[in-house]
A = this chain, B = another copy of it.
Amino acid sequence: MGPEVWAVVRASSVKDVAALAGVSLGTVSNVLNRPDRVSPATRSRVEDAMRELGFVRNESARQLRAGHSRTLAYVLLDARNPFFTDVAEGAERAAEAAGLSLFLCHSDNRASREGDYLAHLVEQRVQGILVTPVDPHATVLDDVRRNGTPLVIVDRTRDDGAFCSVAVDDVLGGRLAVEHLVERGHTRVAFIGGPDTIGQVRDRLEGARAAWADAGLPDDQLTVVPTDGLTVVEGRSAGERLMGIGTRRRPTAAFCANDLLALGLLQQLSTSGATVPGDLAIVGYDDIEYAAAAAVPLTSVRQPRQELGRRAAELVLDEATNPDHVHEQLVFTPELVARRSTFS
């Protein structure tokens, strides 16, 4: 009979370890949590027993007793959008630094799934939740708060100050994009984005319009091309509609509400033989990795994505551990990164 041929019937507990090592249960616990308080001899005896049994601490029991968990979670809208995975990466690093694990939950833009995840996380009593919600005003968020789980809203805001949040000044971002296009001499510009239930989309358009008005350009030369979402496919479809406009009235530049739209638009244009920026200049938003690496490198509005995630994690930890915590709404400043898609 070789070693370890028996099946695992039940995971071993501190009790099993104590029995095998010939010590008490409390001593095993001390080896685990305050190894300094136990003599080297017994400690190694206990550690041998742990190894032999393949002992793994039961986190449920630990958490029940300790009263707090060692995990954070980020509930995100779209795992395929590099913007969110970059935010997640920033949060992940902050969590790692604090000795916590970060679990990602993909709501896929569906309120029901978001609600299920939130409920589960509250039941799990995680240390804190980061969430980019489908709707920042939905009451599910208040329910989480009511149950005492710290929650930070990421990349969205709420006017009532009920939560910490981290976001970027999207009105300013929209302004930067359009100011850039105006400087480049464009007098007919399209704004591509939607649906306008998304606050970001509204804000970026608002900033765009403000810059447009400031430049003294007429309202009807800023065309809005609505989309049903912020995806590559929607960008291609918007491109078709845009190129359907007669050349005389067609905008000479487009400001897209995010980079995925811009990439879709870019692809549609090169399929139909149009050139960028010759036939159409393009400004995107988010400055995702693919923006710089696109066939025509994309001018884009950069957001400090990792920073967003990092600060969100820090805020949620502060809320979890600091009794004097007060909610903060952080607003970061975006930055325009000019590339070939707006330079002929």
What is the interface of chain A, defined by CB distance below 8 A to chain B? Answer: 4, 8, 10-11, 54, 56-64, 69-71, 73, 79-80, 82, 85, 88-89, 92, 96, 101-106, 108, 113, 116-117, 119-120, 122-125, 143, 146-148, 232-233, 236, 264, 266-267, 270-271, 289-290, 293-295
**Are the CB atoms of A232 and B64 closer together than 8 Å?**
no
Among A61, A113, A124, residue most surrounded by chain B Cβ atoms (within 10 Å): A124
Q: How far is the CA of A10 from the CA of B149 in the complex (A)?
A: 11
Q: How far is the CA of A116 from the CA of B101 in the complex (A)?
A: 8
**Are the CB atoms of A64 and B70 closer together than 8 Å?**
no
Q: Which residue of B lies closest to A297 (CB)?
A: B271
CB neighbours (8 Å) of A80 from chain B are 82, 85, 289
Main secondary structure of the interface of A (DSSP, over half): helix
- Count of chain copies: 2
**Are the CB atoms of B232 and A123 closer together than 8 Å?**
no
**Are the CB atoms of A58 and B123 closer together than 8 Å?**
yes
The one of B57, B120, B270 that contacts A59, using a Cβ cutoff of 8 Å:
B120
Selected A-B contacts with CB under 8 Å, 15 pairs: A11-B125, A11-B148, A56-B147, A58-B125, A60-B124, A61-B64, A62-B123, A79-B79, A80-B82, A89-B106, A101-B116, A103-B103, A104-B104, A264-B293, A270-B295
Q: How far is the CA of A71 from the CA of B73 in the complex (A)?
A: 14
A280, chain B: closest CB distance, angstroms: 14
CB neighbours (8 Å) of A266 from chain B are 295
Q: How far is the CA of A80 from the CA of B79 in the complex (A)?
A: 8
The one of B69, B82, B104 that contacts A103, using a Cβ cutoff of 8 Å:
B104
Q: Which 6 A-B pairs have the closest CB atoms?
A: A104-B104, A59-B123, A103-B103, A8-B148, A79-B85, A60-B63
Given A108-B89, A295-B267; A289-B232 close (CB under 8 Å): yes
